[in-house]
Structures are given as structure tokens and as C-alpha cells.
């Protein structure tokens, strides 16, 4: 099957919506020519996370240097004092390898990227069943302290209001259904 890979597929959602699960599933599908845009962040790595695979882990001085050098296509202070950004070089690296770029990015970043690449990008908002369910998932994940969970829930409430600014809203009530819908969306978009 022939795909047009000079494209961007943006997944945004409040944290705990299952966004990473959906993104990782798509990346594991060998019949789809997709590669993950590795972001820079100033947050500390979680136990399983590796520099240069999950994120480029930077201190805030280096992150600010990269902002000043205009290396980012977008960046956000996603949480107070925690910066996340997408390098312009990631898009080039992935397009050069004849793959489409997949982003796992916050809502503000997703909207910013869509406006920079209106034709080449598909922006997908992943909607969790409810705020209560999202909070339950964040707790089950067991990676964050209570204060951080509360911060993520507060941000999620704001982010849910922006869903209509995305090309597609993908409901994640039932994971197998959401995974299949995501596969269909992506393969259709790459064929267009
Ligand atoms: P986490 O700390 O859970 O890995 O990510 C926190 C949030 O930051 C998630 O919503 C994630 O999608 C978002 N994020 C990751 N990379 C980027 C990026 O490069 N830019 C923006 N704006 N958000 C990002």
C-alpha cells in the first residue's frame, strides 16, 4: 500500500486519557510508516524512561538555550516550571526517513502545531469518559504524587473545553474500540 508520509499526526488529551497507550499501539503497527517525535522536557525521567527514546531530558538552562536558538517549532510550560517542546529537527529527521510524524503533546501544543501545518496535519483529541475516570486512571498509574495528580486533574478540566478545536475527537471509553478507530483514522489520513 502506498502512503504519503510527509504528514503530521497530532494526539492531544488531558493526561490520563490513554493518549500514550493509543500512540504506542500505533507505533507498534509495522504496516503503518510512523515514527514518534521525541520531545525535550525539563521534568525528571520516570523509572522506565530513557533519554533520547521517550524524551530528551534537559535542565532548564539548556532548555532556555534551545528556545533562544529557535530550535523549537513549539514549546509550552505544561505545568509550573516544567517545560516541554518539539524540536524542528525531529520533523525533518522523521520525514527524511520516509515516515509520518506522531506527536503526543499537550492541548496547547497540539493547537499550535495544527496552525503551523494546517494541511499536512491531522489533530486528534482523545476524550476520556469523565474527569472522575481520568483521576482514577492517574492514581492507578502510580507514578505521580497526590499534589501532582491534583495539578493534572485541574489542567485536564481546562483542556477538555478545547476539544472542538481539533480535527477529530476520539472517545476512549473502551480501549480496543479506540485503538481500532485510531488505526483507521491514521491509515485513511496517510492514504489521502
Ligand atoms: P508527561 O509528563 O506525562 O510525559 O507529559 C505531560 C504532558 O506534556 C502530556 O500532555 C504530554 O503530551 C505533553 N507533552 C509532551 N511533549 C510535549 C511537547 O513537545 N510539547 C508540548 N506542548 N507538550 C508536550
Mutate to test the pocket of ligand 1, among 48, 106, 115, 142 (most ligand atoms within 8 A of CB): 106
The set of protein residues with a Cβ atom below 6 angstroms from ligand 1 is 15, 39, 43, 74, 76, 78, 84-86, 104-106, 108-109
Please state the pTM of the whole predicted model: 0.92
Cα–Cα dist 26/156, whole Å = 23
Between CA 81 and CA 153, with CA 130 as vertex, the angle to 5 degrees is: 20
pLDDT of residue 14: 87
Crossing angle (nearest 10°) for helices 131-141 and 146-160: 150
pLDDT of residue 178: 97
Q: Give residue limits of the domains in the chain.
A: 8-191
- Find where cell 483507521 sits: 184
- Tell me what the mean pLDDT of segment 68-95 comes to: 96
Q: Residue with the nearest Cα to atom 24 of ligand 1?
A: 105
pLDDT of residue 142: 77
Would you say 121 and 114 are in contact if contact means Cβ atoms under 8 Å apart? yes
149: closest CA among 159, 137, 160?
A: 137
State how beta strands 72-79 and 82-87 pair: antiparallel
- Tell me what the mean pLDDT of segment 88-100 comes to: 97
Determine which of 12-26, 27-41, 61-75, 98-112 has the lowest per-residue pLDDT on average: 12-26
Output the average pLDDT for the chain.
94
pLDDT of residue 143: 77
pLDDT of residue 1: 64
Residues 112-149: tens digit of each pLDDT: 999 999 999 999 999 998 999 888 988 888 777 888 88
Cα–Cα dist 66/72, whole Å = 7
Q: Residue with the nearest Cα to atom 19 of ligand 1?
A: 85
Atom index in ligand 1 nearest the CA of residue 76 equals: 22
- How remote is the CA of residue 55 from the centroid of ligand 1, in Å? 10
The domain 8-191 is placed in CATH, from the list 3.40.50.300, 3.20.20.220, 3.40.140.10, 3.40.190.10, at 3.40.50.300
- Tell me what the mean pLDDT of segment 73-83 comes to: 93
- How remote is the CA of residue 1 from the centroid of ligand 1, in Å? 32
Amino acid at each position: 500500500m502506498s502512503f504519503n508520509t510527509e504528514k503530521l499526526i497530532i494526539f492531544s488529551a488531558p493526561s490520563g486519557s490513554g493518549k500514550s497507550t493509543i500512540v504506542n499501539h500505533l507505533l507498534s503497527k509495522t504496516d503503518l510508516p510512523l515514527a514518534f517525535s521525541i520531545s525535550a522536557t525539563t521534568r525528571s525521567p520516570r523509572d522506565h524512561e530513557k533519554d533520547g527514546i521517550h524524551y530528551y531530558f534537559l535542565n532548564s538552562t539548556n532548555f532556555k538555550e534551545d528556545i533562544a536558538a529557535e530550535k523549537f517549532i513549539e514549546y509550552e510550560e505544561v505545568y509550573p516550571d516544567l517545560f516541554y517542546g518539539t524540536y524542528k529537527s525531529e520533523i525533518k529527521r522523521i520525514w527524511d526517513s520516509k515516515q509520518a510524524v506522531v506527536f503526543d503533546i499537550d492541548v496547547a501544543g497540539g493547537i499550535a502545531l495544527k496552525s503551523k501545518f494546517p494541511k499536512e496535519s491531522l489533530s486528534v483529541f482523545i476524550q476520556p469518559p469523565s474527569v472522575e475516570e481520568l483521576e482514577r486512571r492517574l492514581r492507578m498509574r502510580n507514578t505521580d504524587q497526590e499534589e501532582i495528580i491534583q495539578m493534572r486533574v485541574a489542567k485536564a478540566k481546562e483542556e477538555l473545553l478545547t476539544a472542538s478545536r481539533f480535527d477529530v475527537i476520539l472517545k476512549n471509553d473502551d480501549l480496543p474500540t479506540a485503538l481500532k478507530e485510531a488505526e483507521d483514522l491514521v491509515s485513511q489520513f496517510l492514504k489521502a
